[in-house]
Copies of this chain bind each other. A is one copy, B any other.
């Protein structure tokens, strides 16, 4: 058996002990992980320095180097993140509903762990500890495969995590770092007898590749082509601030807005004002014919702009005839991630929230708020663009499923 196959087998073995482990012991282990990270902060930063040197020599870009980098402050942030997860309510064992069947059996659905979760992610060592904590909060065994550039950092972090598990009497193999090349990941994706769910996090290419190769169910996190629709009844100042924040606060994220739709009745007065604010923030605008008539000199938007996720300071603008056209456009070209309406008209908002088919629909706030922390979930393991199981930000509860527990007094099927 190859080393990573052996790891998967051991992860599956841990699930029996994890099903028996109390919520309190799992919280204690997560707190011990935080303490361990703090105690070994210097060693982790030292290991990370090695990763950074190798990655720098290999020509990794500045943005990726920044994501890879750890320092004492970032290790402290990781520790605090773990403590927040430890303080979250335990999803395991929660009763979702109860009823009595026609034969008199008592039927309830209870939250249980999924089993073994394989996370495949890029070279962001801060994801490592958070993913481990969320899996343990939900009583799952975790196989963590971070980007190879972060191998040294992840090894140092993984040692802290395993030591904490052992300290609290939980099997150390409940959290394992997976090393090895792409072939190791490809092998793991076939081990459906050991692994229950795969969650890839990273660029669209990584996610498509995992989804295509996997025999195990994958929860996918595809792109976000998010829209802000400024309705005819929008407050002008709110429309400007929401569009600006949604576009520029952090343009490289999946919940940043990529498209601005504006009702034709307010376009002449509002669009120049909003466009001025966007341009001042360095945003390149691309418009349809009507938008360009109001914003002379901007580039023309072409067909391929409407479905595109720029992840950059670029925004395409379209003037729409009415709410119906806005909804139709979003449902046709959007990515079902996050879309917002700015309006003072509750009826228009109601239709938008109901009829736009996205995982998050928003009224009068920035798409950048589509996030587990902002929704009050605590940490999130990602934002699902799937429909089954979990849509949108996923916290610990989304790493569980419901099992039917049935109690009777000898009932038979008639």
A331 x B16 contact (CB < 8 A):
yes
A196 CA to B388 CA, complexed, in Å: 9
User: Which residue in B100, B364, B388 is a CB contact (below 8 Å) of A408?
Assistant: B364
Residues of chain B within 8 A (CB-CB) of A389 are 388-389, 401
A374 CB to nearest B CB, Å: 5
17 A-B contact pairs sorted by A residue (CB < 8 Å): A99-B376, A102-B374, A103-B369, A105-B365, A107-B375, A115-B387, A197-B388, A217-B386, A359-B403, A360-B403, A360-B406, A363-B408, A364-B409, A374-B413, A389-B389, A391-B402, A392-B404
A100 is contacted by which of B107, B376, B407, B412 (Cβ under 8 Å)?
Answer: B376
- In the complex, the answer to whether B359 meets A404 with C-beta atoms within 8 Å is yes
Checking B15, B112, B217, B362 against A388 with a beta-carbon cut-off of 8 angstroms, the contacting residue is B217
B392 to A242, Cβ gap below 8 A?
no
- For the complex of A and B, the 10 pairs showing the least CB-CB separation, nearest first, are A365-B408, A368-B413, A245-B412, A388-B389, A389-B389, A365-B411, A360-B404, A238-B410, A362-B406, A99-B376
Q: Which residues of B contact A152 (CB under 8 A)?
A: none
Least CB distance, A138 to chain B, in whole angstroms? 12
A20, CB-defined interface residue at 8 Å:
yes
* Residue among A331, A389, A403 with max Cβ neighbours from chain B (10 Å): A403
Task: Determine the chain B residues whose CB is within 8 A of the CB of A249 once the complex forms.
Answer: 412-413
Question: In the complex, A75→B101 CA distance in Å?
Answer: 26
Task: Bits for A123-163, please: 1 = Cβ < 8 Å to B, else 0.
Answer: 00000000000000000000000000000000000000000
Q: Which of B328, B392, B408 contacts A403 (CB 8 A)?
A: B392
> In the complex, what distance in Å separates the CA atom of A328 from the CA atom of B412?
26
Spell out A's residues near B (CB within 8 Å): 15-16, 19-20, 99-103, 105, 107, 112, 114-115, 196-197, 217, 219, 235, 238, 241-242, 245, 249-250, 328, 331, 349, 353-355, 357-366, 368-371, 373-376, 386-389, 391-393, 401-413
Residues of B within 8 A of A391 (CB): 401-404
In the assembly, what is the distance between CA of A403 and CA of B404, in Å? 24
A100 partner residues in chain B, CB cutoff 8 A: 376
B412 touches A368 (CB 8 A): yes
CB distance from A19 to the nearest CB of B (A): 5
Q: Could you say which of B245, B366, B406 contacts A369, with CB atoms under 8 Å apart?
A: B406
A229 → chain B closest CB, angstroms: 14
Residues on B with beta carbons closer than 8 Å to the beta carbon of A412: 241-242, 245, 249, 365-366, 368-369
Closest CB-CB distance, A340 to chain B, in whole Å?
A: 8
Contacts of A112 in B (CB 8 A): 357
State which of B197, B393, B405 has its C-beta within 8 Å of the C-beta of A404: B393
Question: Which residues of B are found within 8 Å of A114, using beta-carbon distances?
Answer: 387-388
Known pairs A103-B365, A103-B374, A364-B407 / 13 extra A-B pairs, C-beta < 8 Å: A101-B375, A105-B375, A112-B357, A217-B386, A217-B387, A217-B388, A360-B405, A362-B406, A362-B407, A364-B408, A365-B408, A365-B411, A391-B404
